[in-house]
Chains A and B, each alone.
Chain A
């Protein structure tokens, strides 16, 4: 993400990193920008207020899978719907990492979790489909094992005007891998690489062939009016005294 920000040429002082609560959300505290570590699930709502107060800021919002899609699910769909210019980066390790491995709305069906010792019955979201359905105008998926592609995707999302979502598949060997016999970090990354296939290549494949695959790349990119800009168009600026 930092490399992507450098690539966009944004001024450091204009960049803000907002995050929720979870292992992934601790990232904001390690970055040399204005950083805002909020409450569990609410990062997008904080970011919405900040963006509306200071539309010139470039705001990245880091969330975990549980953070964004469970407790924060409502804020997520409404941020998508408004098409407000925020760059959401979802670090999806498919589990509640910080609290020790409970299943999240992005945990694959059948996976074991501390709260699903027999495997979860729940069907996961496809977060990009959800985003698109809710009105987001940019959606992309990358993985931790292909950092160069991820960097490109985040840079494209940042350049996009409107609400963008980048799902970054990552891994949690301790709370997810071990319980599901997926090996250590290296094995998990290897298997992530094997399963990954670009959206372009996938168009030539049928449903059976795509079973269990991770579709990487830009899933959608649409132009639509952006909320903050539209709002300020309707506002009368206060007189300067």
Chain B
């Protein structure tokens, strides 16, 4: 077994390391706090491994360049924060429609607008879901530790390639800037394949039968890539039957691979009376509460942490609502994902939000206070 060595690193650093270890060789971006370290690390590392780093003129161009590079066969990623993420939305929609793999990192800060650029926030939950126009599907991961950032970045890159679907890695300022121990497997060597064409002769870029791997440009497979509704070869169509089928196709691939996409983790009592549903940095405060309340005091409490927030883990919430009387949803916003939890709990459990939007973390004490009433 190759040696696994613990390394102390920042969430943003883990993201860059994870991307490179997942074979990413192209980064295009524009500086913005609190995501800039991802760009700086990529700028330092990529040229040494045959990769491309580009600082573009803005976030719109960065997103476009990432899509262009991906069509050329390089695994590509970009990183930004809320205001820049807004600028990327149109081209993110293009990548979804044209089924071009790419990963977009959004290290959230406090908005709207320039807000408090250095303060933590989870204000972009709905922007990641509905930021681009049209009835599109999206995959969004939300890591709660540096370690999770590393592994979810790798998962994001691989899933994006497999499904030809953009994946958003939604960090927050706390996770991006926090330093923690990460275990990175040593010894092994990653083989990054050069762009090539190994597809069968009857390969189609948008095969009706399902997702095919992308054959990059430049290998004599002539096809069209467009943001318009298109047929199996990528050429535009507005035939209602084909249009409907094409939109179903985008959603069906996420449904088909649902179990690979939707990642959650439960800790605590098997039959909880009070459960917490959390994602990102608030998971950490919740975990501290569960440690004490369950591991020490054996109270009927539990924590469902969501590594995937979109597509929303509906089944997992339904199951939890069958058991728990109360579900508490802590968020560093005025209440965004709590609406989804409510929808899925469907009245089987009472859903109570816990919100903080002053630029500070939700503390374990705040959670205990909220839960206390239900535990006595």
Q: Chain A interface (Cβ within 8 Å of chain B)?
A: 12-14, 16, 18, 28-29, 32-39, 42, 45-54, 56-57, 74-75, 78, 231, 234-238, 241
Asked whether, in the complex, the Cβ of B219 is within 8 Å of the Cβ of A13, the reply is yes
A10 to B72 CA separation, bound complex (whole angstroms): 18
Closest residue of B by beta carbon distance from A42? B64
B26 x A53 contact (CB < 8 A): yes
B57 touches A53 (CB 8 A): no
Cβ 8 A contact of A53, one of B58, B72, B189, B192: B72
Closest Cβ of chain B to A6, distance in Å, is: 16
Cβ-defined contact, B61 with A36, below 8 A: no
- Candidates A38, A75, A231; contact of B52 at CB < 8 Å: A231
Identify B64's interface contact among A34, A46, A237, CB under 8 A. A46
Tell me if A50 and B68 are in contact (CB < 8 A): yes
Residues of B close to A33: CB separation below 8 A = 222
Q: Can you report 23 residue pairs joining A to B where beta carbons are below 8 Å apart?
A: A16-B217, A33-B222, A34-B218, A36-B225, A39-B227, A42-B60, A45-B56, A45-B65, A45-B68, A46-B67, A48-B61, A49-B67, A49-B69, A49-B76, A50-B71, A53-B52, A53-B68, A53-B73, A75-B57, A78-B56, A238-B25, A238-B192, A241-B191
Shortest beta-carbon distance from A38 to chain B in Å: 7
Complex-state Cα separation, A13 to B70, whole angstroms: 17
Which residues 209-228 of B sit at the A interface, judged by CB distance below 8 A?
216-228
Secondary structure dominating the interface of B:
mixed
What CA separation (Å) do A50 and B66 show in the bound complex?
Answer: 8
A50 and B72 within 8 A (CB): yes
Chain B residues within 8 Å of chain A by Cβ, number: 50
Within 8 Å of chain A (Cβ to Cβ): is B364? no
CB closest residue in chain A, given B222: A32
Contact of A39 among B94, B221, B224 (CB under 8 A): B94
**A43 to B186 CA separation, bound complex (whole angstroms):** 41
B311 within 8 A of A: no
**Please, which residues of chain A bring their CB within 8 A of the CB of B282?**
none
CB distance from B58 to the nearest CB of A (A): 7
Q: Which of A14, A34, A45, A54 contacts B223 (CB 8 A)?
A: A34
Closest to A75 in B: B61
Closest to B217 in A: A34
Given A37-B224, A42-B91, A238-B49: A13 touches B65 (CB 8 Å cut-off) = no
Contact across chains for B50 and A52 when beta carbons are under 8 A apart: no
Please state if B224 and A35 are interface contacts (CB–CB under 8 Å). Answer: yes
**In the complex, chain B residues whose CB is within 8 Å of the CB of A237:** 50
B48 to chain A, nearest CB (A): 5
Name the contact of B26 in the complex, choosing from A49, A235, A238, A241 (C-beta under 8 A).
A49
If A45-B68, A50-B69 touch, whether A57 touches B218 (CB-CB below 8 Å) is yes
CB-defined interface of B1-35 with A at 8 Å, one 1/0 digit per residue? 00000000000000000000000011010000000
CB of B130 closer than 8 Å to a CB of A: no
Cβ–Cβ < 8 Å partners of A238 in chain B: 25, 49-51, 192
Interface residues of B in 59-114 (CB under 8 A from A): 60-62, 64-74, 76, 90-91, 94
Contact A241 B189 (CB under 8 A): yes
Given A28-B224, A33-B222: A48 and B50 within 8 A (CB)?
no
Complex: A14 Cα to B50 Cα, angstroms: 21
Asked, given contacts A39-B90, A74-B57, A237-B50, whether A49 binds B65 with beta carbons under 8 Å apart, the answer is yes
Contact of A54 among B47, B191, B216 (CB under 8 A): B216
B300 in the interface (beta carbon within 8 A) = no
B236 within 8 A of A: yes
Known: A38-B94, A238-B192. A49 touches B225 (CB 8 A): no
Partner pick for B61 among A42, A51, A57, A241, CB 8 A cutoff: A42
**Identity of the chain B residue whose Cβ is nearest the Cβ of A237 in the assembled complex:** B50
A236 touches B72 (CB 8 A): no
Known: A13-B219, A50-B217, A238-B50; 12 extra A-B contacts, CB below 8 A, are: A13-B220, A29-B224, A37-B228, A39-B90, A45-B56, A48-B64, A53-B68, A53-B69, A75-B64, A78-B61, A238-B51, A241-B189
Interface-central residue, A14, A56, A57, A75, by most chain B CB under 10 Å: A75
Cross-chain contact A54 with B218 (CB below 8 angstroms) = yes
B235 sits at the interface (CB 8 A): yes
Q: Are A236 and B225 in contact (CB under 8 A)?
A: no
Answer whether residue B54 sits at the interface, using C-beta atoms and an 8 A cutoff. Answer: yes
Report the Cα distance A44→B296, complex, angstroms: 60
Structural contact, A52 and B47, CB atoms closer than 8 A: no
Residues on B with C-beta less than 8 A from A35 are: 222-225
Residues of A contacting B254 in the complex (Cβ-Cβ under 8 angstroms): none
Beyond A29-B224, A50-B217, whether A236 also contacts B68 by CB under 8 A is: no
With the chains together, A45 CA to B30 CA distance in Å?
Answer: 13
- B189 — nearest CB in chain A belongs to which residue? A241
**B195 CB–A CB distance under 8 Å:** yes
Q: How far is the CB of B199 from chain A (nearest CB, A)?
A: 14
Give the nearest-CB partner of B216 in chain A.
A54
Chain B residues within an 8 Å CB radius of A49 = 26, 28, 54, 64-70, 72, 76
User: Are B220's CB and A12's CB within 8 A?
Assistant: yes
**Which residues in B have their C-beta under 8 angstroms from that of A39?**
64, 90-91, 94, 227
Docked complex Cα distance between A78 and B28 (Å)? 14
**Which 10 A-B pairs have CB atoms at the shortest separation, nearest pair first?**
A49-B68, A49-B65, A53-B72, A45-B64, A238-B50, A50-B68, A45-B61, A37-B226, A53-B69, A34-B217
